[in-house]
Structure 1
Amino acid sequence: MVKIGNIILGDFPLLLAPMEDVSDPPFRAVCKDQGADLMYTEFISSEGLIRDAIKSRQKLDIFDYERPVGIQIFGGDEEPMAMAAQIVEATNPDLLDINYGCPVKKVVCKGAGSGILKDIPKMVKLTSAVVKATRLPVTVKTRLGWDDNTKNIEEVAERLQDVGIQALTIHGRTRTQMYKGSADWSLIAKVKNNPRIHIPIFGNGDICTPEQAVAARQKYGVDGIMIGRAAIGYPWIFNEIKHFMKTGEHLPLPTVFERVEVCKKHLRHSVAWKGDVVGILEMRRHYTNYLKGLPHIKDFRQQLVTCNTLAAVEDVLDKVAIHYKDHVIERTSPLADNNLLPANNEVVDCNVYG
């Protein structure tokens, strides 16, 4: 049974990755419905929280239906991070996560995210300051190291555990890899199998099918896995993995009607949380992913991204369900083509790739 502090997560929990501009409350709601065991907010700047920045404060919004849920923060200085931890605690999440994995230049150049992988003693001091500042369980998400010559994740895991973190998620790439190549799970396994390590170790990187999830559990021995881009437009991935692990069989693929209904639920949550204008506008990025695999969908998609009212969008989605009622969408790899993912690797917002 996997536990973080007093949070019981089950035998092999599936975590939803904190993805900037993706993992907001509306998206988390549909992932929770489809079996996510633990979810995180989009990452939040410690400096932004202290300055009372509107966007940073809005990211603190969590709801009882999504528990257990963690709030993730990032920063490069002890005092702001400790102060941010106290602000986070006041919002009553189940845990606090520190982002040491974001590879984006504007974060790294401040010594935050994966930038801190160049200075492990500072990383330890920063983590210790956060742990001491809050009563919440503190967890960390990080990478294997800065580059191929500094894959120091085993040392990092031991030292962070020693200062009090209660779980560690490891993305199987270095900072210099960004999101290129394949994730290396062998080093994640070394951390998990280290006899000094007693906290839960979660693996992250390239998991997009039930078979890959089973392999991660059986071959690498991790306590659970974190899923990012595979859930974008396809929250069913969580229940599919759970069913496959239990039975060895695949769940039937969601029908077009089921895709539309979940998309509509996502939309309604978006409007309820962000308001009509912003909720509808920001939902437009998701339609391609929910409807991926439908032939000749361009006209419907064009209608969806020009509708300005909830009723109008739902009307178009209902027409999609009727038009494609007999169509079966084949299973495809969500890592191969995702509308939310930029063509280049120097993205503005980090963690989108999960």
Structure 2
Amino acid sequence: MATPSAASSADDAARRHGRPCPLAARGGRRLGAAVLGLALLIQGCELVETATAVLEDVIIAEVYVHVGQPKAGRTMAYAFLHRTVVGSLSRPVPGAAVVLTLEDGERFTLEEREAAACYSPSTRTGEGNEEVVGEPEFGTCYYLETGAGTFLPGAAVTLDIALPDGGGLAGLTTIPEDFRILIPSSPACLLEPRTVLETVWTKSGGARAYVNESLVYGVGDAIDFDGFRADDAVELIGVTASEADTAVLFPDEYGAFSRFDLPVQISRALTGGLPPDTEAVVTITSVDLNYVNWARRGGFNPSGLIRRPSVGGDGTGVFGSSVTHSFRIVAGEASGGIPSCSG
């Protein structure tokens, strides 16, 4: 990868060997050879031989174990392998052996699947997977889905990847401990329209953050807004950035990282409570330190400008884990069929 001093080094070399030539290619803009040659002749400057930095082709492994996904009672694990070089020069990474090992020695091998398997919608967002950095056409997906009781909250999981060229990658994650949703106390509840609800859950030991997400349905029917289809779901994303921060106001604080991307009319409609006759699928996900250090979602950049990897060896990447619980909130008048969210 080119270093920040590459341009200044070229300038210094030009000064040592003659009058400096203009840096015609700065900012990624390149002149045609004929035009550049003519410009150099007119200015009478000397050509300077410089070295061009070569972008290193490094394998990136983005690996996650999600307890409670794609639905309650299930666990999904996937690894998306791609490279730092993308576009026409990129190559996928097929033929790798991706193995997850539990503390008791039980091993699970992820199966190579179509790239879309690592991008399929989840119960958390209903949208494409934003955890993955690489583009699907430039990588290879390895996937595993198991039932309850396989990958348990609080367990340590070891990652080993044997690459087809003989290299390897490795990592370790400790799944956050399980937690319970306290408010609301039932998997589906009724909330009076235009009313906020403090959602509360128990602490998840080992969690470094909680990702709070909600898909709100029926907003298009509730407000008159051109260009917004009635069946569109509005996604609200929020984050609490400590293990002990286990209470969030719904829906207001669920949109901390997504409201700036919403039309003003939609954001206002979801402030101070849900509009009548709407409902929301809400998820609380506890995530480990590895997840936090790699995450980039909207304004949520906890590790700063640079991602902190948790996968090493002949490449880099992330090996993160999470535990998810979900519930449904219906905005409407009191009904005998669904309990109140407030108890």
- TM-score normalised over the length of structure 1: 0.23
Higher helix share: 1
Higher strand share: 2
Larger radius of gyration: 2
